[in-house]
Amino acid sequence: MTGLVLDKISMRFDLPDGGAVQALKDITLNIKEGELMSVLGPSGCGKTTLLNILAGFLAPTEGTIELNGHYVTGPDAERGMVFQKGALFEWMSVRHNVDFGPRMKGMAKRERDEITDHLLEVVGLQEFKEKAVYELSGGMQQRVALARCLANDPDVILMDEPLGALDALTREKMQGLVLKLWKETGKTIILITHSVEEALLLGERLLVMAPRPGRIHKEYQLPFAEHGVDADLRDVKKTDLFGETRDEILSMIWDMEEEIMGRTEGAA
Amino acid sequence: MLIAAIYAVIFVAAYFAVKAFTSMREARHDFTSLKTVTFGDESAVRPNRAASIISVVSIFLIWGAFTGSSITPIHVPGPFLGETEFTYTAENAAGERDDATVRVIVRPVGQDVELPEGDGGGGGFALDDSVAVGGGRSSLIQTGENDAGADEDGFRVVAVNGVALEPEVGEVDIGDGSVTLSRRGTVRFTPYAGWQMEKIWLPAPEDVWVRLVEIARDGYRDFTLAEHLGYSLFRVLAGFALGALVGIPLGYAMGLSNWFRGWFDPIVEFMRPVPPLALIPLVIIWFGIDESGKIFLLFLAALWIMTIAARAGVSGVNISKIHAAYSLGASKSQIMRHVIIPNSLPEIFTGARVAMGVCWGTVVAAELVAAEQGAGQMIVAASKFQLTDIVIMGIILIGIIGYGIDMLMRWAERILVPWKGKG
């Protein structure tokens, strides 16, 4: 079976004070190959934990993850990761950041350079190939991170708020770039975000998670990503359906936050 | 006190002088000069170059002024030198009084002069004297040696220049110095000492320079100057290299393994606060004053600093970088080589700078205690012979070399880890 299959993932760990946290409970998901899925939820709902489990950095206490027929037990090049910031290697040039994966695999230099040149062109950084990454702006650095992830040709790309640290304008441009890369490469992409608009734009499928315990609250199938590939993202945002869905999800998350606040206050 | 006051006056005066001078010139118009809030904005505080230069020059000026140096036009008053005289009144056993004159030639210390004729004049039982004394030193003058009846009981000096004096009571200012009577009634003359330092306390800057040239040419205590400094540097480099060689891998191991961290934490945390100087006696007991002892001491001085720096370098790796490298398919050894080591280099360089500073200080101290050659040995040997100029020369050279080491390390850091602080 192809695709990513999560079977009853639960995550529970002990706290130093004797208590325990149920970070995730019975997450069951079937993510098809080439799907673009965004995950949204109030803080503390376990979405980053879920992503770390998918990446193989954390082991779930219960349940299994299968990717293309084999179990996920640790980090692997088949599951690439894009972080919010600070994950580039600042002692390497842009080129060496991008070809890090192929280089570690021992790929020949000619082949590597071809991949690097191509990807830097796709993300629009071909002129910055020999620059140090710390000389680049935040948006450019995230382009490098995308290119570095793609250079390794992973089956699944996991993105942990990849555009969270960018300013609004750069963020909009980068959202377009993510859509373009998704369409061109046909990769499975799972993206975590805090922004409802971003989740709507960058998710064929949108997962709203609820906290305590972290679980799937609601799922949407959305047309905006498909529209956004060719159209201006701002036009997509202006449609009535976009507005309605956004308001619905916003009030849903708002209610969850209220509930958390109430519960904490009640406990105190 | 006086020197501190003079220094403060120069500090303030130079400030206003430079301010007046710069306000006459066209002001700069870079960004910082447009800031109105500078008090509290550390980035707006730039060292005033004029202040730095005046600061160094004024240290030499004050040094020169207080040592009668030829490099400064103005000197504080020196000790009185030349000829002076005073009259004393003696009373003999019979109770009669008579005056006589003492001519005093104050000569530079260590220099001989011929005494003028004219002793024994003056008539009566008290006769005139001529003596030579060293500048700035108080001396007893045996006025009674040529006086008649001076060996009888009751003969004593009762006044100087007409002012009554008792043994250890009263003091007469004769213009170029002061006269008192010792406990046994002998005349004690103290010529005016002035403000200048004697060579034995503080030699003039040019004396130090002359000594530097001389020692650079002829060496000191069987070793050339280059050998003295070279030995010290060699010990520092050898000790530091060994310390880094052991400390860096140890620090990495402590940053990467629970077992290593648990095993070495108590040792490192215990040894870290022990000043290397406190280990000198033990090292001498173990190794004697051999080369190996000093290198071992410096090895210990550098070891803990480098261990902690490497450990901090590993724990300072952003976990996202490690995760990213794993997701890109890197193996553990590849992550070590391509992520952990480069990421820890800035920390290691900072540690190396601290370690070199500590080693340089420790080597000088170790040489002060026991060595046959080296910068510290040179100054401690010179101090035993009160060769203050060599001591000062040694201190200045030690300072310059220490500063030079730090500059070199900073330069190397800029070249080798340009990404420092950019992550």
pLDDT at B348 over 70: yes
pLDDT at A41 over 50: yes
Q: Are B397 and B291 found together in one domain? A: yes
Q: Are B303 and B341 found together in one domain? A: yes
Q: Are B145 and B218 found together in one domain? A: no
Helix (H, G, I), strand (E, B) or coil at B162: coil
User: What total of structural domains would you count in chain A?
Assistant: 1
Domain ranges, residue B42: 2-65
Domain ranges, residue A127: 79-153
CB A186, CB A34: distance < 8 Å: yes
pLDDT tens string A119-146: 888 888 888 888 888 888 888 888 899 8
Q: Are B273 and B375 found together in one domain? A: yes
As given in the structure block, the two tokens for residue A152 are 């390794």
Name the residue among A20, A16, A142 with its Cα closest to residue A86: A142
Final residue in a domain of this structure, among B191, B225, B253: B191
CB contact under 8 A, A90 and B419: yes
Q: Is residue A71 part of a domain?
A: no
- Written as one string, the DSSP assignment of chain A is --SEEEEEEEEEEE-TTS-EEEEEEEEEEEE-TT-EEEEE--TTSSHHHHHHHHHTSS--SEEEEEETTEE--S--TTEEEE-SSS-S-TTSBHHHHHTHHHHHHT--HHHHHHHHHHHHHHTT-GGGTTSBGGGS-HHHHHHHHHHHHHHT--SEEEEESTTTTS-HHHHHHHHHHHHHHHHHH--EEEEE-S-HHHHHHT-SEEEEEETTTBEEEEEEE-SHHHHHHHS-HHHHHHSHHHHHHHHHHHHHHHHHHHHHHHHHHHH-
pLDDT tens string A194-210: 888 888 888 888 888 88
Chain A residues in contact with B328 (beta carbon < 8 A): 77, 80, 100-101, 104, 148-149, 152
Q: Are B381 and B254 found together in one domain? A: yes
The yes/no answer to whether this complex scores an ipTM above 0.95 is no
pLDDT tens string B301-344: 999 999 999 999 998 888 889 999 999 888 899 999 999 999 99
Chain A residues in contact with B340 (beta carbon < 8 A): none
pLDDT tier for residue A239 given thresholds of 50, 70 and 90: confident
Across residues B118-133, what is the average pLDDT?
A: 76
The CATH number of the domain where B288 resides is what?
A: 1.10.3720.10
Interface of B with A (CB under 8 A): 318, 320-321, 323-331, 334, 338-339, 342-343, 345, 417-419, 422-423
pLDDT of residue B263: 95
Q: Are B309 and B224 found together in one domain? A: yes
As given in the structure block, the two tokens for residue A13 are 């760990």
Q: Residue count of chain B, please give it.
A: 423
Q: Are B185 and B216 found together in one domain? A: no
Q: Is residue A34 part of a domain?
A: no
Chain A residues in contact with B422 (beta carbon < 8 A): 90, 132, 134
User: What total of structural domains would you count in chain B?
Assistant: 3
